[in-house]
């Protein structure tokens, strides 16, 4: 991929037990580095359902969008968590039609919900991982299960290296079937 982009996978969707807020945790494919992003409950449910292999009786919004793109002959090529501006993450959808690539601005939660439906690769800008990623050489121990720098539709970012954040990470509980390896 282009310089400055790091391939990621959706590691899990989790819920903070005390506040019931949702976070999607992206994991770098080549390292133990994570990018947690606060998302809304509907988007969290849409991502978790697809990860669990569940199909709703009627198409959800993200299913409808994916099906519409397919019917129009538009292929989702990739999703990029592209920038961190004014304390909010931004994503880009890369769509292909007739040999032409089109970039579309997106919220990360919607881009990720579409990515898991389309089976496309997910990338994050290296600059974002340097700023908000956890694990690897970020100062967070690997047994912290990925930590979280915060974002969503307007959420503020918290310095991920603060000790208080360890408490947050340890209070995360997995959505049923959301990919949490410690669930038993």
Report which of 147, 85, 83, 107 is spatially closest to residue 93, judged by C-alpha positions: 107
In this predicted model, what pLDDT tens digit does every residue of 135-152 receive, in sequence order?
865 433 333 333 333 333
In CATH, the number for domain 5-174 is 3.10.690.10
What is the radius of gyration, based on Cα positions, of the chain?
Answer: 16
Domain ranges of the chain: 5-174
Return the pLDDT at 140. 36
Beta bridge partners of 85: 88
Return the pLDDT at 86. 79
Residue 152 half-sphere exposure toward CB, CA atoms < 13 A: 15
Return the pLDDT at 26. 96
In this predicted model, what pLDDT tens digit does every residue of 79-125 receive, in sequence order?
999 999 877 899 999 999 999 999 999 999 999 999 999 999 999 99
The rounded percent of the chain whose pLDDT value lies above 70 is: 72
Cα–Cα dist 169/23, whole Å? 10
Return the pLDDT at 150. 35
Return the pLDDT at 7. 97
Cα–Cα dist 45/23, whole Å? 11
The β-bridge relationship of strands 100-106 and 5-16 is unpaired
Higher pLDDT, 76 or 153: 76
């Amino acid at each position: 991929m282009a310089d400055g982009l790091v391939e990621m996978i959706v590691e899990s969707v989790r819920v903070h037990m005390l506040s019931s807020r949702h976070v999607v945790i992206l994991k770098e494919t080549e390292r133990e580095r994570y990018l947690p992003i606060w998302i809304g409950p509907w988007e969290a449910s849409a991502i978790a359902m697809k990860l669990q292999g569940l199909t709703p009786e009627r198409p959800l919004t993200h299913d409808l969008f994916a099906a519409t793109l397919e019917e129009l002959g538009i292929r989702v090529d990739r999703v990029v968590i592209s920038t961190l501006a004014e304390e909010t993450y931004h994503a880009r959808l890369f769509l292909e039609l007739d040999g032409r690539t089109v970039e579309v601005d997106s919220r990360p939660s919607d881009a990720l919900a579409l990515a898991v439906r389309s089976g496309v690769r997910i990338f994050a800008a290296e600059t974002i991982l340097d700023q908000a990623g956890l694990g690897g050489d970020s100062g967070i121990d690997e047994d912290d299960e990925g930590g979280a720098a915060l974002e969503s539709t307007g959420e503020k970012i918290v310095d991920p290296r603060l000790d208080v954040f360890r408490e947050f990470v340890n209070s995360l509980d997995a959505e049923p079937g959301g990919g949490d390896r410690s669930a038993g």
